[in-house]
């Protein structure tokens, strides 16, 4: 109690906050934290790096260009794009078993799906089965919004129009050729297949597309993409979904099929194989490249040595830095005088 | 409301005709209305309901940042350019606009409320022959109104009549100019005759022609025509709005100017806008960032042109080009598209965040209990909320003395009577006892008229006085008689003294308590209660004080007919005039005086002399002749005074303490340690200023030399300055080193910076106002500055308010240093306004200094807390904030730049648009605010312990162009890591189930997650002080990021807003992949590892003072060594103040003339000119003299 009765109406509150006395943790970059920290991070990173590197090394990848640039290539004949329905073959030999589930990818290089216009030119409303947008697609789809007769294009836009349309068949050459079964189900993201893309609710499906036209580059309308399997038709066609998941970089690969079948589900046995390619997609004009990639996967996904190497490098750098810091610390300590 | 609306037009400058002359007829509303003069309603608010939105938006878009974002928004509306959805710009812009609008709106509502309150005040107005109570806003020009005592003056009035004799009214002008002393105004005699007769007033039909509304408070011209006669009107007859009527029962006035036309309102609203150096730097940086942005966009646009030329043309099969778009045109469009995308380098939230941080740090100042002064219940106040960080960069402090360093309380501390010293307490061993609050005080209860606030500790003096020692009686009788104090006795026994200087007040009060009570005075007599007995002395002459004489005397006749001359003055002067018989006393007194001076007390010697009756008659006759003569009046009077003040008998000496405020020497020492230079600018005379300089440790005996510059001509001053400089730096060049540089926007500002020069030893300089006037001339100011800056301490005395501002401007101009001015009085206003930061001492008297200041508090010693703690923290926080803010935005933006090389320079964003929208506003807003509101490197106690910690701020070390470039390089590195590590790690890889993961959406998610985590770790590295709030903000923001991301990428959001959330599933599908997380981990670690290593090594190899103190603090686990108790050394010195009475010439003339006291004949009233009268020069004031530096130096 104050001895004198002082008027203290304006006295500020005495709280830790107003007086800036909030309890606080005040770490500083002391040698005791930094040097062991660097060592620990270094060791951990080297560990992770080794694991990643070994894992990546164990992943088998077989990558084959089939653009047909070289005249020796079987696909050279198709690369000019003059032959309709050109089919070419790509032969390869496996000396060892290609282990695990083998995934069949197609790859494109120098292909700018990442171009802003490319990604933007699509209509998600249309693709989610909203038939209002069948009659009037979004303007971003230009120049594939309406055709010359002013019919709406479904699916509209550059993305859809440019859909990759080479098809592949894989044969093992044993006593003639034995078809390696390729499974195209479930190759797209679950969320794309179940949520993002919906077919319009009409039976038969084609009714919903009355008054619309197919994208100009397409050979058949979207509702005829897979007439054998209803669940793989229309906007839900897995190849279409995979294509519409736009790549971030100009060189990319996309999943085409999974290799299944009783003989191949656990790996491709050694032997000679051929890939029969229906060569439709022109890339030569813009100096693009097409390839097929066979790969198995691990817990860290596909083959990528970089991450493992990066961890090893960063980890080693941390160790080296900790040494340097230790030396400097031992030499200079900290001046106690202020 | 209607009138408000109509005024709006007027405010916007649409005043049709400029008023040239005002023409008013009293009591004739119709006539006056024909001129459409403004009535008395005021409007300080800016908006009303209808104009708020358009006007406020208009104002806001005048700001560069807002306008820039509006421009961006327009760009985004062009489909060919728009690379981002409109909401990315609209959301932040609307948020920022809304916040500012809310603040402006609430401010304006307050102003409205204030206006309404003022407008609805009641006043009595004479309408249709009767007094009616009216609201202020309904008062019209030409109305006659009646004011009561203590009422505010309603409008600018012509004083007609008052309750006091001679039509006098007393007003207080605190609200106008901050002076609380009463001022006198006097009405015309002819209007005074109206008195309070309602009939006469109602029939009063005078016509006033006067100047149009203006803002000059001290000038008024006009004339009143009444019954065919013309009377001229001047400022003497005008009561201004904002004043308060005091000591006057009632008065009547004619309204001349109403509402917005009043001088008070005309003076409002011209606040000069202060900007901090960080602000200016920020503007320069923002401009250079614009340049940087343009360069980046240009590179990318050229890239796009090349890409379109090489690739695009051939890729056109799949990516058809719109009609008419060729590569150059595409590049042009891309340029603008990238302007949109990369706009985040100039984030709109920067300015808002800066304001918030400053506001927060200002609140800390308001809330600080250690800057709260309980004695008068005054907390510190940050009146400006935009200057905080500059408090951490102060290099020069300009301080007033009176009321700032000192309490402006003079206490009668010691005295020497007839060779014996009193006032000191000695213990049994003869040692001096320290006198403090607990020391027993002398009991004055035997004296009914004693002032209870007077303390004295030496009992022996009372015993001597009560014992009837005649010398002691004479001593105090002299003090009670020889002065020019005005008594005021409101109630019987309750005396108040109005003294010209506080010293005089202290002496008279001392006499009062020791039983010689000065009770009242007339021009011819002084009434004193001597030891309970009423005695009236006849006052024969007052030989007033002036600067040359340095003494004053009175000649009185006691009731028993004895004629005595009492004289007090500077010891040297008095000692020259002593009778030889006083030699012994003189020796003892001299010794005492030396002791007193050594304690920093202000001393006066007292002497008296009995005068022969006949001689007096003769002298008086000659005196009369001299004072009425026209030739050489001054000289003749001086000679007469000299003649009679001779052969005096020494009574003793007084020692008055000009009490320093608590903690002033310690504060000055602390600030000096922080390398802040303190200059004292005071209106006091040289001796007083020097004395204070010694007592607050600015001048020290051990200093190598204290230069006194007191030349009377320009040449003398120059020589003195040069000599001083050469002594300090004999080998220095004759010409100062001036570094020329260009600065500001487009380098248009030329700057001259004078380098600091090293000197050996400690020097100080004392310069008086007269010399300062010469030294501030254009050709000498560099010499002055150079010499002054070599000194540790600079004291300028007898300076005028204008000179104070000039000195500040001089330092600002050539030193490029941040200056702070601190003062308490109206005379400090100019320097407070001139300095970068103005600090007002509040709670004393007069609000003028506080009102024009940026910060105010009650005690000088709080300055060290303001600077060393709040200022330092604010600066540190602001710099950390800016560095981090630029880092996070540059990093954010540069990733787009790198991505440009992989998307055909198509202005494709790396991140989700929503992330771009929310990054600054949500995900990173709070952690950085937490950093900049809570961070402290070391706590306040350590800040005080090591004032050197303040130095980095003065040197601009924490944020400068260099630091900015470092930040940009740092973020360049981070952005490279943040783009290329994910790029390489994701290249050609797939998910663990073989599905796609290098799709754009997953990559965007990866990049943005890496970025957010990396910048948050960086924030963690920058944070020194982790409070719970910081933790909460940091982890909260990260959780919010993931929560918001998962929500926005969820099925539900897509199903509801299909086209707005195309990223559906991206989070689920990619964040469950281990390689995603491993990428995030290595990316963020790689971003910070070099920073940690660099900082660690830097601390080891080149530790800053900051690092050292933090290290020490850690070692000692916050056990702060107790600050050594500072013992004020007793100064052994021969320096002492010559004559304690400072300031202006006394007003003995006034005392004897009786004008002030007596009802003078009416005719006197007209010649009673305020500006010339001694009353104007020497206003009676309670312990305070505002008018410092009465004699402005004559500059030839």
Q: How many CB atoms lie within 10 A of CB A81?
A: 14
Is it the case that residue B1176 has pLDDT exceeding 70?
A: no
Mean pLDDT, rounded, for B768-796: 88
Nearest to B652 by CA among B581, B594, B588: B588
Listing DSSP states for B731-766 in one string gives TS-SS--EEEEEESGGG-EEEEEEPP---SS-EEEE
pTM: predicted TM-score of the whole model, two decimal places: 0.82
What is the rounded CA–CA span in Å between residue B883 and residue B597?
54
**Annotated binding-site residue? B400:** yes
Report pLDDT digits (tens) over A93-118. 999 999 989 999 999 999 999 998 88
Q: Does B368 touch chain A (CB under 8 A)?
A: yes
Q: B780 — phi, psi (to 5°)?
A: -115, -5
Q: Is B179 exposed, middle or buried (0-12, 13-18, 19+ CB in 10 A)?
A: buried
**pLDDT grade, residue B430 (50/70/90)?**
low
What is the rounded CA–CA span in Å between residue B551 and residue B1148?
12
Mean pLDDT, rounded, for B918-934: 91
Q: How far is A21 from chain B (nearest CA, A)?
A: 8
Question: What is the Cβ-side half-sphere exposure of residue B95, based on CA atoms within 13 angstroms?
Answer: 18
What is the rounded CA–CA span in Å between residue A156 and residue B771?
87
Report pLDDT digits (tens) over B553-579. 999 998 888 899 999 988 888 888 898
* Contacting residues of A for B1069, CB less than 8 Å apart: 189-191
Mean pLDDT, rounded, for B922-927: 91
pLDDT value at position B1126? 47
Beta-ladder partners of B705: B763
Which of B143, B368, B400, B854 is catalytic? The answer is B400
Chain A, residues 78-137, CB within 8 A of chain B, namely 101, 103, 105, 107, 110-119, 124-125, 128, 130
**Mutation test of the interface with chain A: which of B995, B1052, B1112, choosing the one with the most A Cβ atoms within 10 A?**
B995
* Contacting residues of B for A13, CB less than 8 Å apart: 367
Question: Are the beta carbons of B1004 and A11 separated by less than 8 Å?
Answer: no
Mean pLDDT, rounded, for A242-249: 93
**Annotated binding-site residue? B438:** no
Least confident of A128-137, B14-23, B82-91, B767-776: B14-23
Question: Are the beta carbons of A314 and B1027 separated by less than 8 Å?
Answer: no
Is it the case that residue B743 has pLDDT exceeding 80?
A: no
Is it the case that residue B177 has pLDDT exceeding 90?
A: no
**Domain segments of chain A: what residues?**
65-297, 305-338
Q: How far is B980 from chain A (nearest CA, A)?
A: 11
* Contacting residues of A for B367, CB less than 8 Å apart: 12-13, 18-19
**Annotated binding-site residue? B827:** yes
Q: Does B976 touch chain A (CB under 8 A)?
A: no
Report pLDDT digits (tens) over B808-850. 999 988 888 899 999 887 778 788 888 999 999 886 655 667 8
Residue B207 to residues B8, B129, B147, B160: CA-CA distances in angstroms? 30, 18, 21, 13
Better-predicted residue by pLDDT, A338 or B41: B41
pLDDT value at position B455? 81
Is it the case that residue B1136 has pLDDT exceeding 60?
A: no
Question: Are the beta carbons of A28 and B1024 separated by less than 8 Å?
Answer: yes
Verify whether residue B638 is a known catalytic residue: no
* Contacting residues of B for A14, CB less than 8 Å apart: 369
Q: How far is B340 from chain A (nearest CA, A)?
A: 14
Contact yes or no for B710/B686 (Cβ under 8 A): yes
Contact yes or no for B334/B301 (Cβ under 8 A): yes
Is it the case that residue B313 has pLDDT exceeding 90?
A: no
Report pLDDT digits (tens) over A141-161. 888 999 888 999 989 999 999
Q: What is the 3-state secondary structure (H, E, C) of B421-482?
A: EECCCECCCCCECCCCCCCCCCCCCCCCCCCCCCCCCCHHHHHHHHCCCHHHHHHHHHHHHC
pLDDT value at position B883? 94
Least confident of A88-102, B193-207, B231-245, B743-757: B743-757
Q: Which helix (H) or strand (E) holds B563?
A: strand B563-569
Q: Does A196 touch chain B (CB under 8 A)?
A: yes
Is it the case that residue A327 has pLDDT exceeding 50?
A: yes
Q: Does B79 touch chain A (CB under 8 A)?
A: yes
Contact yes or no for A281/A166 (Cβ under 8 A): yes
Is it the case that residue A202 has pLDDT exceeding 90?
A: no
Q: Strand A86-94: give its sheet, edge to edge.
A: A86-94, A271-279, A167-172, A178-180
Least confident of A326-330, B388-392, B452-456, B912-916: B452-456
What is the rounded CA–CA span in Å between residue A315 and residue B396?
51
Is it the case that residue B603 has pLDDT exceeding 90?
A: no
> By CA distance, what is B1070's nearest residue in A?
A189
Beta-ladder partners of B754: B738
Contact yes or no for B650/B605 (Cβ under 8 A): yes
Considering all CA atoms of chain B, what is the largest pairwise distance in Å, rounded to the nearest integer? 129
Q: Which helix (H) or strand (E) holds B313?
A: helix B313-315
Residue in A158, A285, A332 nearest the CB of B314: A285
Tokens, residue B719? 């020589």
pLDDT value at position A214? 92
Q: Is B461 exposed, middle or buried (0-12, 13-18, 19+ CB in 10 A)?
A: buried
Taking all residues of chain B, what is their mean pLDDT, rounded to a whole number? 82
* Contacting residues of B for A52, CB less than 8 Å apart: 1078
Report pLDDT digits (tens) over A10-55. 888 889 999 998 999 988 888 888 999 999 999 999 999 999 999 9
Report pLDDT digits (tens) over B483-537. 877 777 767 777 777 666 777 888 898 998 888 998 888 778 899 988 888 899 9
pLDDT value at position B268? 61
> By CA distance, what is A258's nearest residue in B?
B994
Question: Are the beta carbons of A41 and B378 separated by less than 8 Å?
Answer: no
Q: Is B754 helix (H, G, I), strand (E, B) or coil?
A: strand
What is the DSSP secondary structure assignment for residue B139, as one 8-state letter?
-
pLDDT value at position B1132? 43
Question: Are the beta carbons of B873 and A20 separated by less than 8 Å?
Answer: yes
> By CA distance, what is A107's nearest residue in B?
B988
What is the rounded CA–CA span in Å between residue A229 and residue A237?
9
What percent of chain A is modeled with pLDDT above 70?
A: 96
pLDDT value at position B176? 65
Q: A70 — phi, psi (to 5°)?
A: -75, 145
What is the rounded CA–CA span in Å between residue B1195 and residue B776?
11
pLDDT value at position B729? 83
Report pLDDT digits (tens) over B670-727. 998 898 999 998 877 777 788 788 888 888 888 888 898 888 888 889 998 888 888 8
Residue count of chain A, please give it.
Answer: 338
Q: How many CB atoms lie within 10 A of CB A305?
A: 15
Better-predicted residue by pLDDT, B208 or B408: B208
Mean pLDDT, rounded, for B583-612: 85
The complex scores an ipTM of 0.95
């Amino acid at each position: 109690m104050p001895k004198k009765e002082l008027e203290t109406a304006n006295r500020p509150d005495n709280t830790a906050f107003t007086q800036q006395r909030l309890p606080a943790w005040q770490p500083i970059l002391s040698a005791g934290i930094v040097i062991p920290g660097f060592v620990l991070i270094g060791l951990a990173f080297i560990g992770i790096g080794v694991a990643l590197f070994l894992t990546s090394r164990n992943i088998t990848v077989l990558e084959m260009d089939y653009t047909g640039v070289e005249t020796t290539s079987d696909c050279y004949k198709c690369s000019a794009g003059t032959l309709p329905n050109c089919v070419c073959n790509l032969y390869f030999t496996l000396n060892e078993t290609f282990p695990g589930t083998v995934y069949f990818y197609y790859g494109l290089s120098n292909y700018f799906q990442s171009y802003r216009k490319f990604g933007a030119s699509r209509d998600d409303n249309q693709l989610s089965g909203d038939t209002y947008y069948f009659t009037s697609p979004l303007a971003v789809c230009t120049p594939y919004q309406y055709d010359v007769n002013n019919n709406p294009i479904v699916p509209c836009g550059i993305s859809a129009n440019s859909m990759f349309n080479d098809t592949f068949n894989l044969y093992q050459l044993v006593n003639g050729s034995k078809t390696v079964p390729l499974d195209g189900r479930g190759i797209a993201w679950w969320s794309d297949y179940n949520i993002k893309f919906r077919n319009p609710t009409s039976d038969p499906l084609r009714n919903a597309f009355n008054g619309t036209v197919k994208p100009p580059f397409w050979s058949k309308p979207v509702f005829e993409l897979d007439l054998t399997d209803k669940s793989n038709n229309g906007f839900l066609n897995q190849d279409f979904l995979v294509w519409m998941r736009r790549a971030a970089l100009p060189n990319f690969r996309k999943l085409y099929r999974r290799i299944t079948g009783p003989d191949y589900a656990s790996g491709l046995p050694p032997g000679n194989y051929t890939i029969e390619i229906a060569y439709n997609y022109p890339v030569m004009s813009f100096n693009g490249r097409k390839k097929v990639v066979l790969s198995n996967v691990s817990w860290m996904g596909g083959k990528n040595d970089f991450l493992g190497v990066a961890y090893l490098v960063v980890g080693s750098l941390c160790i080296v830095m900790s040494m340097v810091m230790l030396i400097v610390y031992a030499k200079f300590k900290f001046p106690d005088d202020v | 409301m209607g009138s408000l609306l109509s005024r709006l037009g007027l405010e916007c400058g649409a005043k049709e005709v400029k008023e040239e002359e005002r023409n008013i007829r009293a009591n004739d509303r119709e006539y006056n209305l024909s001129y459409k003069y403004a009535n008395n309603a005021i409007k300080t608010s800016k908006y009303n309901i209808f104009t708020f939105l358009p006007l406020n938006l208009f104002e806001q878009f005048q700001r560069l940042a807002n306008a820039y974002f509006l421009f961006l928004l327009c760009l985004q509306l062009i489909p060919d350019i728009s690379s981002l959805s409109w909401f990315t710009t609209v959301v932040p812009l609307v948020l920022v606009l809304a916040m500012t609008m809310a603040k402006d709106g609430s401010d304006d509502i307050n102003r409205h409320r204030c206006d309404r309150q003022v407008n609805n005040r009641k006043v009595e107005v004479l309408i249709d022959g009767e007094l009616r109570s009216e609201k202020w806003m309904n008062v019209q020009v030409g109305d006659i109104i009646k004011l009561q005592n203590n009422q505010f003056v309603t409008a600018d009035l012509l004083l007609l009549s008052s309750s006091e004799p001679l039509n006098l009214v007393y007003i207080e002008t605190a609200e106008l100019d901050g002076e609380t002393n009463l001022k006198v105004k006097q009405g015309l005699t002819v209007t005074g005759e109206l008195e309070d007769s309602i009939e006469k007033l109602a029939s009063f039909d005078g016509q006033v022609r006067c100047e149009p509304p203006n803002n000059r408070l001290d000038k008024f011209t006009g004339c009143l025509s009444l019954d065919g006669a013309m009377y001229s009107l001047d400022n003497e007859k005008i009561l201004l709005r904002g004043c308060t009527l005091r000591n006057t029962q009632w008065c009547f006035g004619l309204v001349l100017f109403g509402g917005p036309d009043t001088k008070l309102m005309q003076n409002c609203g011209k606040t000069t806008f202060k900007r901090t150096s960080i602000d200016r730097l920020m503007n320069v940086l923002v401009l250079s960032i614009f340049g940087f942005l343009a360069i980046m966009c240009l590179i990318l646009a050229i890239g796009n042109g090349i890409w379109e030329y090489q690739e695009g043309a051939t890729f056109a099969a799949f990516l058809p080009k719109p009609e008419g778009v060729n590569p150059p045109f595409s590049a042009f469009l891309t340029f603008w598209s990238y302007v949109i995308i990369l706009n985040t380098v100039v984030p709109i939230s920067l300015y808002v965040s800066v304001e918030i941080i400053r506001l927060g740090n200002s609140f800390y100042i308001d809330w600080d209990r250690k800057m709260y002064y309980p004695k008068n219940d005054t907390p510190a106040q940050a009146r400006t909320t935009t200057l905080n960080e500059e408090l951490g960069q102060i290099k020069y402090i300009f301080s007033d003395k009176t009321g700032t360093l000192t309490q402006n309380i003079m206490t009668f501390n010691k005295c020497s009577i007839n060779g014996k010293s009193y006032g000191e307490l000695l213990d049994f061993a003869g040692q001096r006892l320290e006198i403090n609050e607990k020391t027993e005080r002398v009991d004055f209860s035997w004296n009914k008229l004693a002032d209870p606030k007077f303390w004295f500790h030496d009992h022996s003096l009372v015993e001597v006085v009560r014992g009837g020692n005649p010398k002691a009686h004479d001593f105090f009788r002299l003090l009670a008689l020889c002065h020019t104090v005005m008594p005021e006795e409101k109630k019987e026994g309750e005396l108040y003294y109005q003294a010209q200087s506080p010293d005089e007040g202290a002496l008279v009060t001392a006499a009062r308590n020791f039983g010689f009570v000065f009770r009242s005075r007339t021009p011819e007599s002084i009434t004193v209660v001597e030891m309970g007995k009423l005695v009236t002395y006849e006052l024969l002459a007052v030989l007033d004080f002036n600067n040359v004489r340095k003494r004053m005397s009175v000649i009185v006749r006691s009731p028993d007919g004895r004629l005595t001359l009492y004289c007090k003055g500077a010891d040297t002067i008095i000692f020259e005039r002593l009778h030889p018989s006083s030699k012994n006393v003189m020796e003892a007194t001299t010794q005492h005086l030396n002791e007193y001076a050594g304690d920093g007390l202000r001393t006066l010697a007292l002497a008296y002399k009995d005068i022969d009756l006949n001689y007096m008659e003769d002298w008086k006759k000659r005196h009369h002749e001299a004072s009425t003569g026209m030739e050489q009046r001054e000289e003749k009077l001086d000679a007469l005074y000299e003649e009679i003040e001779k052969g005096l008998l020494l009574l003793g000496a007084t020692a008055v303490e000009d009490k320093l405020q608590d903690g002033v020497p310690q504060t000055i020492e602390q600030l000096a340690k922080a390398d802040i230079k303190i200059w004292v600018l005071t209106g006091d005379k040289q001796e007083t200023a020097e004395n204070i300089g010694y007592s607050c440790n600015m001048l020290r005996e051990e200093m190598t030399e204290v230069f006194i510059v007191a030349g009377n001509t320009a040449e003398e001053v120059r020589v003195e300055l040069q000599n001083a400089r050469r002594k300090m730096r004999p080998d220095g060049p004759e010409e100062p080193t001036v570094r020329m540089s260009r600065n500001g926007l487009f380098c248009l500002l030329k700057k001259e910076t004078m380098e600091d020069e090293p000197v050996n030893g400690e020097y100080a300089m004392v310069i008086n106002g007269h010399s300062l006037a010469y030294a501030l001339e254009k050709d000498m100011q560099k010499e002055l500055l150079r010499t002054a800056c070599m000194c540790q301490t600079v004291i300028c005395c007898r300076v005028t308010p204008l000179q104070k501002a000039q000195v500040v401007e001089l330092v600002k101009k050539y030193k490029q240093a941040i200056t702070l001015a601190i003062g308490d009085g109206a005379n400090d206003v100019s320097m407070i306004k001139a300095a970068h930061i103005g600090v007002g001492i509040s709670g004393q008297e007069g609000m003028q200094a506080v009102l024009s200041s940026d910060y105010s508090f009650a005690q000088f010693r709080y300055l060290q807390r303001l600077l060393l703690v709040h200022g330092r923290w604010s600066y540190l926080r602001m710099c950390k904030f800016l560095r981090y803010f630029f880092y996070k935005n540059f990093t954010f933006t540069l990733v787009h730049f790198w991505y440009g090389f992989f998307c055909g320079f198509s202005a494709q964003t790396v991140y989700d648009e929503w992330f771009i929208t929310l990054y600054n506003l949500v995900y990173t807003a709070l952690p950085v605010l937490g950093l900049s509101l809570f961070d402290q490197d070391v706590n306040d106690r350590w800040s005080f312990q090591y004032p050197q910690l303040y130095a980095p701020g003065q040197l601009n070390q924490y944020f400068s162009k260099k630091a900015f470039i470092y930040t940009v390089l740092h973020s360049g590195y981070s952005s490279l890591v943040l783009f290329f590590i994910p790029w390489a790690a994701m290249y050609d890889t797939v998910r663990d189930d073989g599905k796609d993961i290098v799709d754009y959406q997953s990559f965007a998610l990866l990049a943005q997650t890496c970025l957010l985590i990396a910048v948050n770790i960086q924030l963690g590295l920058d944070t020194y002080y982790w409070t719970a709030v910081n933790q909460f903000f940091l982890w909260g923001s990260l959780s919010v990021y993931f929560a918001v991301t998962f929500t926005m990428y969820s099925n539900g959001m897509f199903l509801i807003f299909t086209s707005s959330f195309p990223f559906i599933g991206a989070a689920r599908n990619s964040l469950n992949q281990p390689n995603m997380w491993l990428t995030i981990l290595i990316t963020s670690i790689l971003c910070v590892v070099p920073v940690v290593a660099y900082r660690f090594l830097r601390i080891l190899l080149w530790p800053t003072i900051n690092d050292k103190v933090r290290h020490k603090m850690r070692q000692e686990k916050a056990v702060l060594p107790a600050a050594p108790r500072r013992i004020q050394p007793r100064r052994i010195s021969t320096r002492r103040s010559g004559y304690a009475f400072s300031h202006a010439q006394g007003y003995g003339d006034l005392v004897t003339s009786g004008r002030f006291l007596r009802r003078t004949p009416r005719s006197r009233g007209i010649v009673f000119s305020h500006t010339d009268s001694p009353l104007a020069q020497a206003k009676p004031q309670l312990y305070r003299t505002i008018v410092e530096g009465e004699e402005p130096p004559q500059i030839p």
